[in-house]
Amino acid sequence: MRRALASLVAALAICTLANPGPATSAPHVPVIVIDPGHSRSIHAIDRQTGLRVDDYENEPEMRDVFSVARLVTARLRSLGYRVVMTKTSLNQRRNLAQRARIANAAHADLAISIHDQAGRNGGIGFRTGNNIVYYQSVGDYRVTPRGHHVVFRNHVVARLSKRYAAEFARARRAVQHARMKVRGNVGYDLGSRGLAPGDIWIVQLLAHMPWIYNEAGGNSRGHVGLTAADRRTYAASLVAGVEACIPPPRRA
Ligand SMILES: [Zn+2]
Which pLDDT score is estimated for 22?
Answer: 53
Report helix, strand or coil for 17. Answer: helix
What is the mean predicted confidence (pLDDT) over 104-128? 95
For the chain, give every domain's residue range.
29-245
CATH node for 29-245: 3.40.630.40
Question: Residue 10: which pLDDT band, with cuts at 50, 70 and 90?
Answer: very low
Say if pTM beats, i.e. exceeds, 0.85.
yes
CA of 36 to the centre of ligand 1 (A): 9
pLDDT at 65 over 50: yes
CA of 96 to the centre of ligand 1 (A): 12
CA of 202 to the centre of ligand 1 (A): 12
CA of 116 to the centre of ligand 1 (A): 6
Which pLDDT score is estimated for 26?
Answer: 74
Question: Residue 80: which pLDDT band, with cuts at 50, 70 and 90?
Answer: very high
Report helix, strand or coil for 229. Answer: helix
Compute the CA torsion angle 101, 165, 69, 179 (nearest 10 deg). 150
